[in-house]
Structure 1
Amino acid sequence: MISEKMAQAINTQINREFYSAFLYLAMASDAMNKGFKGAAKWLRIQFNEEQEHALKFAKYLEDQGAKVELAAIAAPKTEWKDLLDMFQDTLAHEKKVTAWINELNTLAIAEKDYATQNMLVWFINEQIEEEGNDQDIIWMLEMSAGSKGALFMADRTLGKREG
């Protein structure tokens, strides 16, 4: 049985994952408004992934006999200077998410909650991938700085993401 403290921490993370989804949807809208259809597609796929993460946490709580408690989700920022600024924000945000996942794991270890530790391994690995993908995109955008043709190609590359 999961402790109340662990369940509450996971509930907090569920709401953070939904905020992450809102953030990526806001980014997708801004990218589309700036004419970057490829980036918008990439960000919408990310929006869907973040919702899946929230649902994965919720199902875990339910499977553990704990109640899922949802809270209001704050409105995210809605405009960025350019794609580089946007993806720098995605990396900064994913680093926060990594820290939150690590805090959950630290709590699970302290509580000797082996089931939660096991479940969190998937999220720890996911965060390694998320940060790596964001860093790769930032490098691509930095290399395209000052070249509209290179930025166009970067946007096309982002649009090839499958989800």
Structure 2
Amino acid sequence: MLSEKVAAALNSQVNKELFSAYMYLGMANYLNGQDFKGMAAWMKKQSAEEVGHAEKIIEYLQDCGAAVELEAIDKPKNEYESVPGVFGAALEHEKFVSASIHDLVYLVREEKDLPTENFLGWFVSEQVEEEATFSHVVELLKKINNAPAGLIILDGQLGGRED
């Protein structure tokens, strides 16, 4: 059985994951509007992945007999200055999510909730991957330096994302 503090924190994390999905969908729409169809498709897959993260937490809450309390999702930003701006914002957001997951781990350690700490281990590892992926794209974009040919090539590469 989860403590009220842990259940509330997990419910809050569900909201953060769903906001992430919403944000990535907004980024996909922006990229699509800039004719970067591959990058837009990549962000749509990222959005779906974030919904999966939320569903994983919801299932855990249900398995533990805790109430799932869905909160309102904030409106994400819909306009960006540039493609590098999109991916830079995404990287910063993933760092925010990582910090939130780490705070959850610290909370469940305080609560001596070993099953939830074990459950959260997957998310800790996932965030390492998420930050590495976005960092890689951000670094590529720095090298491209807004060169149209480079952006077109990267668009094609990201459009081939398999999940």
Aligned pair count reads 163
Contact 1:144 1:154 in 2 (8 A): no
CA distance in 2, matches of 1:82, 1:158: 16
- Mapping of 1:85-96 within 5 angstroms? 85-96=85-96
Structural mapping, 1:1-163, within 5 Å: 1-163=1-163
Separation of aligned partners in 1, 2:106 and 2:8: 14
Q: Residue 70 of structure 1: SS of its match in structure 2? A: coil
Gaps of 5+ in 1: none
**Cα distance in structure 1, aligned partners of 2:81 and 2:159:** 20
Question: What's the Cα RMSD here?
Answer: 0.6
Residues of 1 paired with 2:143 and 2:159: CA distance?
18
Q: TM-score, normalised by structure 2?
A: 0.99
Q: Deviations over 1:101-160 (max 9, x none)?
A: 000000000000000000000000000000000000001111111421111101111111
Same amino acid, percent of matched pairs: 43
Q: Point out where structure 2 has 5 or more consecutive residues left out of the alignment.
A: none
Moved over 3 A (4+): none
